[in-house]
Structure 1
Amino acid sequence: MIRTVVLDVGETITKDDRYWASWADWLGVPRHTVSALVGAVVVDGRDNADALRLLRPGINVTAEYQAREGAGRGEQLDDTDLYDDVRPALAALQAMGVRVVVAGNQSAKAGDLLRSLNLPADLVVTSAEWGVAKPSPDFFHQVIGAAQAAADETLYVGDHPQNDIFPAAQAGLLTAHLRRGPWGHWWADDAIVQQTADYSIDSLMDIASLVNPAHPEA
């Protein structure tokens, strides 16, 4: 029985378009170039930030992030960054009595921005606020505590195999791999991802039928 659903953030509930476009503008390169390099690191199974390192070898991503913030060109997030299925899917889960948690690898500022959107969620928290990031097992220990349910009654939903599916499964959580965004699409048919994930979904609206097979969305 699934009592709690925990969702990743980037390319699970939010689109990364604005995020990567803002980096391209900051570094003074075409947005298409950044998009192409993000695709390249996805195919290689590398960290997303490696796209920036390919553009600027030796770049200190943390320092550049702080410089952007100082220049008033830092993180922004509003309803237009949400995927269309986020609010109805999360609201449906809450209506079913399921605890909904949003937890991903984001900054403290992103946490504030997400909470300002008043999502249908019981808790919104980021890795920066917890002081530990995915794929560390400690992140998923925090997830289990935030879930207020046993690991095998908690479903973690995400697009990224290395950051979401594999470590969540290792922590004993149920997992749903979402075919969304570069990582989600590229790795969706990978044999190991399919073997590891308990479920494969194409939309957040599919989650309700995992919680209750008799739900109308099934």
Structure 2
Amino acid sequence: MNLAFISQPTSPNALRAISALLTAVAKEKPNVGYIASQPDPNREYFAQTQQLYQSLNAQMSVYLELESGFNHEAFNALLNCDVIHLSGGDTQRFLRSVKQRELNTVLKSFVEDGGAIVGVSAGAMLLTPSIASAALCGDMITDEEAALRAISLVNFQFVPHVTEEQLNQIHFKQQLRELKSPCYLCSDNDAVLQMGKELVLYGTPTLYKNPAK
């Protein structure tokens, strides 16, 4: 199972983590598919991500939107990619769309069959047991706890964009204590890479384990 949990994809350690994952794919020029967290009419973020992967000697030619612009041909092409990139955005909206399209089981099967996934911010949280951690990085979470259950490819949760200032805030610490699973806190220059059974940390991610659980 090859998964990258990224906070900010253009940061040095994020690029190192993505590059290591692409190397593990063991292809001269891996093919990457992109799933948008929400409509990107001008494909602005897609184009930026294309350039990022091009700089890492990979190609990104598949764009999949999950809402009104859903395209079955793009979906089929996505499943033939070596790597799937889950974009950042509104985490709750992204998870709802993934479930509506029944992609949670599709993505699990993709990984089990040897595919790799790069999750950025919201996309990374989708790979964990729950997106409840999205509240810690400013997302508005309104769904009930059961609806926040995510794809659960790992046994930890993920909080991107964490700052030193937040770590000292009482409210932030209170929110952390409400999480049901251990959680990796990542600054914009941190990344977590699951390579098979090995977990590789880039930068200085902090693992938080609730002492009450």
Give the structure-1-normalised TM-score: 0.41
Q: Give the greater-gyration-radius structure (CA).
A: 1
Give the structure-2-normalised TM-score: 0.42
Question: Which structure's residues are more often helix, by fraction?
Answer: 1
